[in-house]
Amino acid sequence: MFSILRRTLSTILAILLFAPLLSAQWAPLATDPDAAKRIEWWREARFGMFLHWGVYSIPGRGEWVQWQEQIPVDQYAKLAEQFHPEHFDADAWASVAKAGGMKYMVLTARHHDGFALFDDPGSSFTAMKSAAHHDFVADYVKAVRKAGLGVGLYYSPLDWRFPGFFFPEIYQPNAVELREQYARQIDEIASHYGKLDILWFDGGGNEWLGFGGVQFAGSGWQARPKDKPYSGTFDWQDGKTVGHLRQLQPGIVLNDRTNAPADYRSREGDGALGDFDNQHPWELCTTITDGAWGYIPGAKVKPLAQLLGLLVGAAGRDGNMLLNVGPRPDGVIDPPQAERLAEMGKWLAANGESIYGTRGGPWLPGAYGVSTHKGKTVYVHVLHAPKDLALVLPTLPVRVLKAAVLHGGDVAFQQTEQTLSLTLPASAADAIDTVIELELAAPWTTSAVVPVAER
Ligand code: GLC
């Protein structure tokens, strides 16, 4: 029976193996000999904390406040005189992340407004030259490493203070200055804070040059089509700067927002969960509150079910999740955000084995939910329990030996040539995610996947 089944299924699976390749974007993915090894820990980690923090936290209108309100550069720079976060405590940040079940952290070392939280003798707009006179990246790196979490920094090559970013042609010398700042600051970050595990670029690459798309086309200004990157003469020279970064930090993993080869793709926002992809490492980044990434007083924290749905949804599509908090100007992560993270951490303390160190599949996401696996164990994440509690999935070309609610009672099941039927115990049905653990007769080692009908 299983040989016929194996043959029919392998043809279907073959078709499904290649689908994700079509959706590549921006930077190519790295293919050097160490690439797979380099990304392994990151893939196992599955869940990280993003932190958007800087002088934009003071007005509390999000990290794009300068651009959205067109605040003149010299006026905006005055925020640095007010930047003295009296309750800043990087150890406290790390413990909030740890309590949330997060395995790595990524802090905005410098965002689009140009303010650097690290020391750069070549720039006048840094935390060292602010009212705080302090290198916050140094504390952050030490605390995150001490907590045993992956150490990540976000860096924006684009800087709104440079007219050359907006018009790299007519302001070429200034564009070159911007590029030199980029190379200098990457060198500062990569040389003075010890081992870094992640560099999270944003606003780099030709995608963003010339300010995201405004160009002069003969008769006037017009938005450059989204999929048409900048094509002028200016170049970020990412190969050189990122090449230098990789020399200084050989184990570092990079996202895909420069033109240089990346280690993983970044998808952005709740709506970007997207397709299953176990061919290219990827990460969904989103915010724990509605609205901006930077601090906004009273911003509404998203419900636990929504956030866990995204985390489980990403893992079931073979991706990571990077969840953002926006600390207050005094340095504290707003208690409602920390509390929500603690709730996620509690869920992960009970169900983490079905997320950490797993791969997406074998079943593709469907009306039922998603699945993850590790060795001989498959976890069916029932996000939407069928009314009659009878879950029917296409069978697997491997025998299922046992089914049980994770840390709970046995689940009745029947496997045929076509289907695997699971009878969910009503008592175990969880409104957010009922995790069913299946023990297989052999490890699921293939990256092939099984399609599930979308009801
Ligand atoms: C968006 C926001 C930017 C933020 C980034 C994080 O692009 O505009 O401010 O840093 O997302 O992914």
Report strand pairing: 47-51 vs 320-325: parallel
Q: Could you report the per-residue pLDDT of 288-318, keeping only the tens digit for each? A: 999 999 999 999 999 999 999 999 999 999 9
CB 150 within 8 A of CB 157: no
Residue 13: its pLDDT value, please?
A: 46
User: What's the start-to-end Cα distance of the chain, in Å?
Assistant: 28
Question: So what's the pLDDT on residue 1?
Answer: 46
Assess whether pLDDT exceeds 80 at residue 376. yes
d(CA 94, CA 101): 11
Query: Is 171 exposed, middle or buried, given 0-12, 13-18 or 19+ CB atoms closer than 10 A?
Result: middle
Q: Is residue 320 scored above 60 in pLDDT?
A: yes
Nearest ligand 1 atom to the CA of 285 is: 12
**Cβ within 8 Å of residue 37, ≥6 positions away:** none
Strand order in the sheet with 412-415: 390-394, 419-423, 412-415
Note whether 405 and 375 are within 8 A (CB).
no
**Atom in ligand 1 nearest the alpha carbon of residue 62:** 9
Instruction: Pick from 57, 268, 282, 286 the residue to mutate for probing ligand 1's pocket: most ligand atoms within 8 Å of its CB.
Output: 268
* Of 96 and 232, more confident: 96
pLDDT of residue 276: 97
pLDDT band at 211 (very low <50, low <70, confident <90, very high): low
pLDDT value at 11 more than 60: no
Q: Distance between CA 255 and CA 156 in Å, rounded?
A: 12
Give the whole-number percent of the chain exceeding pLDDT 90: 80
Helix axes 90-99, 335-351, angle to 10 degrees: 40
Q: Please, which pLDDT band fits residue 260 given cuts at 50, 70 and 90?
A: very high
Structure tokens at 329: 């100007």
Do the Cβ atoms of 107 and 51 come closer than 8 Å? Answer: yes
Residue nearest to atom 2 of ligand 1 (CA): 293
Least confident of 96-100, 280-284, 387-391, 419-423: 387-391
Q: What is the CB-side half-sphere exposure of residue 295 using CA atoms within 13 A? A: 23
pLDDT given for residue 224 in this prediction: 67
Q: What is the pLDDT of residues 15-61, one digit of tens each?
A: 444 444 444 456 889 999 999 999 999 999 999 999 999 999 999 99
Task: Tell me the per-residue pLDDT of 100-139, one tens digit each, with 9 for 90 and over.
Answer: 999 999 999 999 999 999 999 999 999 999 999 999 999 9
Q: At 454, is the pLDDT very low, low, confident or very high (cuts 50, 70, 90)?
A: low
* C-alpha triplet 175, 137, 26: angle, nearest 5°: 45
320-345: average pLDDT: 98
User: Which pLDDT value is given to residue 20?
Assistant: 45
The alpha carbon of 208 and the centre of ligand 1 are apart by a number of angstroms equal to: 12
Ligand 1 atom with the smallest distance to the CA of 156 is: 10
Contact (Cβ atoms closer than 8 angstroms) between residue 283 and residue 321: yes
Ligand 1 atom nearest to 63, measured from its CA: 9
Atom of ligand 1 nearest to the CA of 324: 6
Q: What's at 33, amino acid-wise?
A: P
- Using the predicted structure, report yes or no on whether residue 242 has a pLDDT greater than 60: yes
pLDDT given at position 281: 97
Count of other CB atoms within 10 angstroms of residue 230: 20
Q: pLDDT tier at 167 (50, 70, 90 boundaries)? A: confident
For residue 279, count CB atoms less than 10 angstroms from its CB and return exposed for 0-12, middle for 13-18, buried for 19 or more. middle
Please compute the mean of the pLDDT values over residues 398-412 and round it to a whole number. 95
Neighbours of 42 (CB within 10 A): 21
Give, as one character, the DSSP assignment of residue 353. G
Q: Which pLDDT does position 3 carry in this prediction?
A: 56
Residue 252 CA, ligand 1 centroid: distance in Å: 21
How far is the C-alpha of 193 from the C-alpha of 24, rounded, in Å?
33
Strand partners for 40: none
Confidence at residue 216, expressed as pLDDT on a 0 to 100 scale: 63
Distance CA 88, CA 140 (A): 10
Which of 202, 208, 256, 289 to mutate to test ligand 1, by most ligand atoms within 8 A of the CB atom?
A: 202
Which atom of ligand 1 has the smallest separation from the CA of 111? 10
Provide residues with CB under 6 Å of ligand 1. 63-64, 202, 268, 285, 293
Contacts of 99 (CB under 8 A, 6+ apart): 338, 341, 342, 345
Among candidate residues 238, 232, 225, the one with its CA nearest the CA of residue 209: 232
Mean pLDDT of 252-280: 96
pLDDT at site 230: 75
Alpha-carbon gap, residue 259 to 238, rounded angstroms:
6
Q: What is the mean pLDDT of the chain?
A: 91
For residues 379 and 418, is the Cβ–Cβ distance under 8 A? no
Q: Is the pLDDT of residue 7 over 60?
A: no
What DSSP character marks residue 427?
A: G
How remote is the CA of residue 351 from the centroid of ligand 1, in Å? 30
CA of 293 to the centre of ligand 1 (A): 7
Residues 6+ apart with CB under 8 A from 180: none
The residue written with tokens 């303010």 in the block is: 115
Residue 30 — left, alpha, or beta (φ > 0 → left; ψ -120 to 50 → alpha)? beta
**Confidence at residue 386, expressed as pLDDT on a 0 to 100 scale:** 83
Q: Tell me the three state secondary structure of residue 436.
A: strand
Q: Give Cβ neighbours of residue 219 (< 8 Å, ≥ 6 apart).
A: none
Task: Give the whole-angstrom CA distance, residue 352 versus residue 219.
Answer: 58
pLDDT at 343 over 60: yes
- Structure-token pair, residue 119: 């020391």
Q: Determine the distance separating the centroid of ligand 1 and the alpha carbon of 298, expressed in angstroms.
A: 20
pLDDT band at 96 (very low <50, low <70, confident <90, very high): very high
CA–centroid distance, residue 71 to ligand 1 (Å): 19
Distance between CA atoms of residues 254 and 186, nearest Å: 13
